[in-house]
A and B are shown apart, each in its own frame.
Chain A
């Protein structure tokens, strides 16, 4: 990690992909390829090992140095004018590194014959929940590190199924208000919340790819007296299907011109916590989600998301799926996160964003209530985008958290402050702002 070679290699690959993209662009309107590459210098202050290396730290990079953050390609292939295929693939150099696919789906948008506009997606895709991640490659134009909520969506939520949505303008000649409803049935996502529980909430920009196997903090081994006598490494493949029970999400959205947006959604993976397949246990995870976006006076934008949910899982099971021992018990952990962000653009090229995150994971049944994670974070970001190709920026991230389990499981202090300064340079090819 941290060598200068990686960014150089990344830029080389980017140039190769650029020529491919320009070639694809020249073929006409049927195919579009967008390439994004980001390289950043990180200066971190933390005593914790970074989570992609199996640590309990919330930062993606714990060491100082230059990192090739991500190289991604987003491909839109037109099958017919209303049917398209979309694939987002990327290369990352941390955790389970290498190439991987983030999203791959077929998108059907029949031409509306009335004020009702329908859309169907089929494949592996993000649910339409994040207010931040509206740029190509599911990246954020606001901050480099996503909010705790959207970081987690990027880590462990990727439905594999179908989504139907209906958008309706409330008056055909007056687009001030519109409503949208969406519903999805999906497979996969059964271990969702495994990483969330073991590591806690996090703020970063690493998206889990469909084939990724992520390291998570090791599982403690308890002796006869209940003391931790060792640990067993464990990994998670969050998009595994363990029980062949489909999950669902549903939601509704209301918009008022380009001034306000309110969205309510519910997600439930309906996983059976007693199910085990492909080295993964099912975690029954569900949550409610509220998102609000408002254009304030003075060109100021306000964004807020709030999520509250719970996960039922079998504590004490073997990571290898061995027999369910008598001490194994079904536990429920509640999780909650929210953020508030203010953002403003100046002269189209400068953007300043400040975000405050709060998050927690509690086990309400235990006495006393066990706080497996709790804390808050500040993110301050400045971005400079002189054109559609280049952008640069600086971000300051500070996360304060406490975990009751840390001293007990891993012998690290109960509280931690993690700070990170990030200087990023990004290159985008074939990609105008927005989708």
Chain B
């Protein structure tokens, strides 16, 4: 907590007016301690009290958003992209700070990870760890690109600025398929084995929660759900309807057969 405060960040997980107040608190406290050679007690208490009061007055709270993704019967679904976009704020197109980076590797003629979830503006590297060349491309609207035949990590990373789903393929190996889910928010994660996503440090406010997985029919995905995040844990259940496609990678039920042919 103290370290967070010392770093000048809001104790509640995001930048806001409280930062300035906290800084002033430490400046005042520092001055007091310099004079008295003692750890400030009274000023600290006063300032902390004031801070809490201000915190309530200015809505600078953050909470945890816990989302459970299940199918029609409530069975958990893993590897589902879940993201919460603030309603009030204009969604980000590009992050203001230094570019984030991510990587979609190619191993044993598969894209790893199969689903890559990133925020808009992220730079994505496409290294090829295989001994054969790949020719990576996408014709998706959100990002059309082509990385001509290569091995290793020869191509510079690509920026994914437009939110949307980018389907990635290899022109040499037809069965290779990967998905890059570009979202207009910093609050996102893939669901775990229990179908759960825990987004921490989400500033209080109204959000729309959306989910996406290549395994669902577009009509089976739930509509964007509006949720109000407050201090503490806000829970949300979301259901994907319709039959889910089997998991597509080679690890699931298909490695005994060969699927790459002319």
Contacts and interface: CB of A to CB of B under 8 A. Distances in A.
- A pairs with B: yes
Interface of A: 29-30, 32, 78, 81-82, 109, 111-115, 117, 121, 125-126, 128, 130-131, 134-135, 141, 167, 171-176, 255, 257-259, 261, 293, 295, 297, 299-301, 303, 343-345, 348, 351, 388, 430, 432-435
Contact of A81 (B131, B135, B169, B174): B135
Interface residues of B, number: 46
Contacts of B174: 117, 167
Which 6 pairs between the two chains have the least Cβ-Cβ distance? A258-B254, A301-B256, A301-B257, A176-B245, A81-B148, A134-B258
A173 B248 contact: no
Given A29-B150, A295-B257, A343-B257, A258 B250 contact: yes
Given A29-B133, A111-B137, A128-B261, A172 B167 contact: yes
A274 to B, nearest CB: 34
B139 to A, nearest CB: 5
B169 A432 contact: no
B109 interface: yes
B23 interface: no
B258 A112 contact: no
Dominant SS among interface residues on chain A: loop
Nearest to B148: A81
B171 A293 contact: no
Nearest to B261: A134
Interface in B225-262: 245-246, 248-250, 252-262
Interface in B181-216: 214-216
A435 B109 CA distance: 9
Contacts of A111: 135, 137, 146, 171
A82 B147 CA distance: 11
B165 interface: yes
A126 B133 contact: no
Interface in B47-84: none
B254 A259 contact: yes
Contact of B131 (A167, A255, A432): A432
Contacts of B172: 109
A112 to B, nearest CB: 6
Nearest to A342: B256
10 contacts: A81-B135, A111-B137, A112-B137, A135-B258, A172-B140, A172-B167, A175-B177, A258-B250, A301-B254, A348-B255
B99 interface: no
A225 B215 CA distance: 72
Contact of A174 (B137, B169, B214, B259): B214
A299 B130 contact: no
B31 interface: no
B41 to A, nearest CB: 60
A259 B262 contact: no
B89 to A, nearest CB: 27
Contacts of B146: 111
A295 B254 contact: yes
Contact of A261 (B167, B246, B256, B259): B259
Nearest to A105: B262
B172 to A, nearest CB: 7
Nearest to A433: B108
A173 B218 contact: yes
A430 B131 contact: yes
A109 B165 contact: no
